[in-house]
Structure 1
Amino acid sequence: MRLLTHNMLSSNIKGVTNGFPLLIEAEKVVEKPVDFNPDFLRNIFPKIDWKALVAAARAVGYGELPDTADAAMLESDDFLRHLHHALLQLHLEEGALVCPETGRRFPVNKGIPNMLLHEDEV
C-alpha cells in the first residue's frame, strides 16, 4: 500500500468521529521504482493532508519530508523528488493500520489493507 493510498483512508467504524489519519504499524516496507512525474505531484499536492503524510512517512522510516509544506515548494526539484519517493515509491507490505480513536487494527498483508468491519462495527 502506497502512502498516497494511506492519506485517503479513514476508519469508518460506527460512532467514530475522528478516524483519520490511521496510524501505521509497519512490519515490512519495500521501495518500488515509479517513473518521476512532477506534473502529477503538483496536481495531487493540494489534496494531500501534509501532516498525515509526514507522520506516515516517519512511521515507515522515511524522514526526508519537512514538517510543513506550501505550494511554493513545488518549484523545487529536490522537494518534488522527496515527495515522489514518499507518496509513490514506499509501500507498506506487511503491518497494520490503527484507528486513532478506537485502537482497532486493520491488517495489511501483501500490500493490501483489510478495512472490512465486523458486524458490530457497522
Structure 2
Amino acid sequence: MPDLIEERSGVPVLVCDPAGPPVATAEQALDLIGAAFAGAEVVAVPADRLDPGFFSLGTRFAGEIMQKFVNYRLRLVIVGDITAHLAASSALRALVAESNRSDHVWFVPDLAALDARLSART
C-alpha cells in the first residue's frame, strides 16, 4: 500500500505505508510534509520507518524532525510499538509523555489509538 490520505475520525491523515522508504534524513521528512500538502492535517508514520537515531535523543534527529512538522503546522504521529526504545531511555520516555500531552506530536501504539485520539478532539 502506498502512502495514502485517508479521513480518520473526520480528519485527513496521510497514513504512511509501513513498507515505505525509511525516514533517515530531514529531507526525507520534508518529502512526507510535501505529500501531506495534498490535503492532510496529520502525518502518521510507522515507528519502524524511522531511523533508529530518531529514538536516540543525543542525535537531535527527533527534535529536528518534530520541529519541521510544527513549523509547517502539521501534526506528526508516530505509530507503533516503541517499548524497547522507551526502556532504554528515560529522556525518550519524558519526551513521549510530554508530546502526548500536546497537540503537535503524538506517539500511539496503532491506528485505532490514533482514531481514538482524533475522536476525542472533535
Both proteins in one fold, TM over 0.5: no
Structure with greater contact order relative to length (CA < 8 Å, sep ≥ 6) = 1
* Max Rg structure: 1
TM-score by length of 1: 0.26
